[in-house]
Amino acid sequence: MATRRDESPAAKAERTITITRLIDAPRTRVWQAWVNPAELARWWGPTGFKTTIEIMDVRPGGVWRQVMHGPDGTAYPSQARFSEVLHPERIVFTHTGGRAGAPVDSFESTWTFEAVGEQTRVTISMEFQSAAIRNRIVEQYGAIEGGQQTLARLASEVSAPAAGSGATGEFVISRLLAAPRELVFRVFTERDHLLRWWGPKGAQVQSATLDLRPGGSFHYSMQGPGGATLWGKFVYREIVAPERIVFVNSFSDASGGLTRHPMNPLWPLELLSTITYESRGSGTLVTVRWQPLPPATPEERAAFDAAHANMQQGWSGTFEQLAEYLLQAAPTGG
């Protein structure tokens, strides 16, 4: 919803709700709490509300469907489409929804995340078609107070040790994908699928062998965005279709050996990886858990903990590639 050419700043302000809060947490932590659907569901909405997320594809053009449930049981279904996702600075989406059975309202929402030292200034801007609609939303839904309460719940969420933070020694990230669980499990466990999406944004698998069984392995080479070739290896421990896979993840070489991180000698030699798949309506919530395996040293664990923001960014890019691939795979089932 672009600013109208002949509109003054004052006129735009009359049809816009703006709410700001300084949150006592680093920007990367606040961003993670927003883009991780499992975490966002814990704090989204005013005090006393609960949120069920059906689909959440955080990328330009991606769809987000959810239902907020008020303390009195009233349902507030809504749908949004993301137009801008600039990690970790800004998220813009068009929101459509309202109380079940009531007229549908639409507005453009912009969330900005500004680093202020070790804190984050979060600003919500909700831009409506007219001042009259804006005022009705404020009066009918208490939108300003609701937005303030939502930011307070976000602040409370990020003040606790995050899943995947150094306090737990474990990295955790989730993504809600717009595809059924059986298909998502297949693209994680079949070689021809993995060749086409596995790896961070801009990376491409060049060769791979897959022996999908406990004790078997996935051994692959990958060309990164900069052109360098890396080798990686999974050794599977547990495979429960379509619910869970557990494997040991490591860097490797062309012969399948165990090697150190080529750019970080303090990186743990092996990581225990657990990936779970949960049905969410017509979509699938994928959760990835990583933790160093013994005998990782304290220095290696510290290096792992310090890299959580980079892992967040890398996995976000991987999920983006997977979401794009699922759009191709879904019509025919792969």
Neighbouring C-beta atoms of residue 240, cutoff 10 Å: 11
Q: What is the pLDDT of residue 333?
A: 39
pLDDT band at 311 (very low <50, low <70, confident <90, very high): confident
pLDDT at 236 over 70: yes
Under 8 Å CB-to-CB from 229, ≥6 apart: which residues?
Answer: 206, 221, 222, 223
The two three-digit tokens of residue 99, written as one number = 């109380």
pLDDT at 46 over 70: yes
Q: Cis (ω within 30 of 0) for the bond into 77?
A: no
Hey, which of 141-145, 162-166, 268-272 has the most confident mean pLDDT? 268-272
Number of structural domains the chain divides into: 2
Task: Please tell me whether residues 209 and 316 are part of one structural domain.
Answer: yes
Residues, the chain: 334
What's the one-letter identity of residue 307? A
The two three-digit tokens of residue 46, written as one number = 């005013």
Can you list the positions of beta strands (E) in 40-197? 50-56, 63-69, 75-86, 90-97, 105-116, 119-127, 171-177
Task: Please tell me whether residues 228 and 98 are part of one structural domain.
Answer: no
Task: Please tell me whether residues 326 and 181 are part of one structural domain.
Answer: yes
Q: What is the pLDDT of residue 9?
A: 83
Range of the domain at 62: 9-159
Q: Is residue 74 part of a domain?
A: yes
For residue 65, give the CATH number of its domain: 3.30.530.20
Higher local confidence (pLDDT), 126 or 137: 126
pLDDT band at 3 (very low <50, low <70, confident <90, very high): low
Q: Cis (ω within 30 of 0) for the bond into 88?
A: yes
Higher local confidence (pLDDT), 168 or 132: 132
CA pair distance 226, 247, nearest whole angstrom: 28
pLDDT above 90 coverage of the chain, percent: 55
Q: What is the pLDDT of residue 51?
A: 93
Q: What is the pLDDT of residue 104?
A: 65
The two three-digit tokens of residue 34, written as one number = 């927003």
The two three-digit tokens of residue 9, written as one number = 């700043």
pLDDT band at 229 (very low <50, low <70, confident <90, very high): very high
Task: Please tell me whether residues 323 and 289 are part of one structural domain.
Answer: yes
pLDDT at 160 over 80: no
Does residue 166 contact residue 292 with C-beta atoms inside 8 Å?
no
Q: What is the pLDDT of residue 332?
A: 45
Does residue 218 contact residue 194 with C-beta atoms inside 8 Å?
yes
Ranges 42-51, 66-75, 101-110: which has the least confidence: 101-110
pLDDT band at 103 (very low <50, low <70, confident <90, very high): low
Residue with tokens 């990581």: 271
Q: Is residue 1 part of a domain?
A: no
